[in-house]
Amino acid sequence: MTQLILFNKPYGVLSQFTDSAGRATLGDYIGLRHVYPAGRLDRDSEGLLLLTDDGAIAHRLTAPTRRTWKTYWVQVEHVPGERELQALRQGVALKDGLTLPARARLIDAPPLWPRVPPARFRASIPTQWLELCIREGRNRQIRRMTAAIGFPTLRLVRCAVGDWTLEGLAPGEWRHVATASSAAPRERRDPWQAPPPRGRRRRNGRIK
């Protein structure tokens, strides 16, 4: 039976199940066999990571031609203006080429858990939260995009992939959301409003 899992990846955890250097991995939180990440999050990023044992689902989630929307909450140094937001919306020139147009807006600080360890702030520099939606998966793309417009990323949390969201998941928690091979996230009509996770909740998993 096909498995599709939503996992709230904590800061400092690798998007893989083993590590020869002894760093924290998915295996420290998810005690299931034969499931693999569909995509990845960097070690210093947090939030929604999807795992599955179905290659077709993984392909639909990660294939560049599918261009699944992924939504991030991003805390940056300083406060971007409309000109900088428009640059994100039009596409940012990076070393590996121009990014696809993103959806970008300023938001109030989202209701998040404290990060461990805390992000480093400079008392003399204000910070601002953004909501960014992108349809690509380049290496460290969000961080490079905000740096390119002059606003370094301090904290990065992925809150949604297609229809699937972090709702109800604390850091380190996971749950099944689908058991059919045809299940895959559909694109939301409004990417700014994240609906509750789809599918029946079969079980919760939490490693204490």
Provide the residue-wise pLDDT of the chain in tens; the chain has 208 residues: 788 999 999 999 999 999 999 999 999 999 998 999 998 899 999 999 999 998 888 888 888 777 899 999 999 999 999 999 999 999 999 999 999 999 999 999 999 999 999 998 888 999 999 999 999 989 999 999 999 999 999 999 999 999 999 999 999 999 998 655 545 555 444 444 444 334 433 344 444 3
The residue assigned the tokens 């990440």 is 37
Write down the catalytic residue from 19, 42, 44, 53.
42
**What is the amino acid identity at position 19?**
D
Amino acid 189: pLDDT: 43
Residue among 70, 66, 49, 196 at smallest CA distance from 131: 70
Strand 36-37 versus strand 127-134 pairing type: unpaired
127-142: burial string, b at 16+ Cβ within 10 Å, e else? bbbbbbbbbeeeeebb
In terms of CATH architecture, what is 4-65+161-206?
Answer: 2-Layer Sandwich (3.30)
Q: Does domain 70-160 have CATH number 3.30.70.1560?
A: yes
Amino acid 203: pLDDT: 44
- Are both 4-65+161-206 and 70-160 of the same fold? yes
State whether residue 76 is helix, strand or coil: strand
**Helices within 32-164 (DSSP H only):** 55-62, 82-90, 141-148
Is residue 42 among the annotated active site residues? yes
DSSP state of 56: H
Beta bridge partners of 183: none
Cβ(162)–Cβ(133) below 8 Å = no
Cβ(184)–Cβ(98) below 8 Å = no
Beta bridge partners of 103: 133
Domain boundaries, the chain: 4-65+161-206, 70-160
